[in-house]
Amino acid sequence: MRKTTLLLLVPALMLAACSSEKPADHSPDGYHRPLPTPSEAAVRQHIPDPQATDTLLPTVTGPFGARATISVPKAVPTGRFVVMPMNEGRGRAARNGDAAIVKYSAVVWKTGKHLPDSYAAGAHPRVFSVGRGSILAALDRAVHGQRAGSRVLVVAPAAAAYGSTGNARLGVSGKDTIVFVVDVMRVIAAHETITGSQADVSEDLPRVRMNRAQGTAAITVPDHGAPVELTVEPLVTGAGPVVKSGQTVVLQHSSTAWESARGKDQGELFMSSHAAGEPLIALIGRGNVLPGWDKALVGQRVGSRVLVVIPASLAYGEHPPKGITANTSVVSVLDVLAAA
């Protein structure tokens, strides 16, 4: 996990640790977990290079974007790791650092047992950074290089799925081969930004100019104190669906500290997804990011750019990251690229 992401997640996790309430059903990195990631032991194992086909393969029926019907041969799998496109989409091809939104179906080869997938009641699509090791190798490698709109068959031996320890909760042993059918719903470029003319805001608020070459925001903070309340100003209003609490969002973000930036031509960014080389992917409305972000983003439309001035109580409070003064307000410019 990259430094800029940690700056967002750590304060929220500290707050959660002090709460007596039952934690939400998600992990600290902001991803839904209907399909758990492999154990540490599995990660350390050698993952074979995928092949394009095999002498023995499952058969798959059903349309793109719907649960696949997977028929597994009675014979023992060969043990090869197979990533085989079944049809090619016409959208962007996924590259390292891009954000992928996928739906998948999954069965255990040996037993034919269905694993939790994207089509169960209450399930969400899977959202992850391509090539960053944040998800099962089987899914990551299935998406890499594929175009949005593609359906991909994946035959994953244990090393590419749950490793030698398996997953007891799912009934997967350390020797099980898992069959996935992965639909690449959308690919978001690592440096994609929102387009459109920005609305004017009050002179009492920071001025935002976008550096289109770099994708970062140039933020000019007025030479006076910050607002005492959370301030949310749409700069570009998107036409996409409304972001709901519990969804995973894909964001580009730039942030500066009000006090250190006030009165300067441009505030220094202490946090930027573009500097990290990939958009931030996080669960929203559940305490996984800065509280001010949670409050600001729920209810926004996908495709929006939002200026958020966050008082210290909803940012880092008395325990900011290194280089930021305690009890300072934070100014963030957020591009809402997707929500799933």
Tokens of 286: 């559940």
Whether the CB-CB separation of 147 and 175 falls below 8 Å is answered with no
Q: In the chain, what percentage of residues exceed pLDDT 90?
A: 80
Residues 6+ apart with CB under 8 A from 174: 158, 162, 163, 164, 165, 166
Residues 6+ apart with CB under 8 A from 20: none
For residue 31, name the pLDDT band (cuts at 50, 70, 90): very low
pLDDT digits (tens, 9 = 90+) for 263-319: 999 999 999 998 889 999 999 999 999 999 999 999 999 999 999 999 999 999 999
Tokens of 161: 């799925």
Q: Which of 198, 340, 239 is nearest to 281 (CA)?
A: 340
Q: Tell me the residue ranges of DSSP E strands in 72-161.
A: 82-87, 99-108, 126-129, 151-156
Query: What is the pTM for the complete model shown?
Result: 0.85
pLDDT digits (tens, 9 = 90+) for 158-172: 999 999 999 999 999
Q: What is the pLDDT of residue 35?
A: 39
pLDDT digits (tens, 9 = 90+) for 33-73: 333 344 333 444 578 889 999 999 999 999 999 999 999 99
- Burial (0-12, 13-18, 19+ Cβ within 10 Å), 132: middle
Residue position matching structure tokens 């069959």: 179
Please count the CA atoms within 13 angstroms of the CA of 61 that sit on its side-chain side.
Answer: 3
Question: What's the rounded Cα separation, in Å, for the pair 277 and 99?
Answer: 11
DSSP labels, 77-92: P----EEEEEE--SSP
Question: What's the rounded Cα separation, in Å, for the pair 309 and 315?
Answer: 10
Whether the CB-CB separation of 106 and 171 falls below 8 Å is answered with no
Q: Above 70 in pLDDT, residue 195?
A: yes
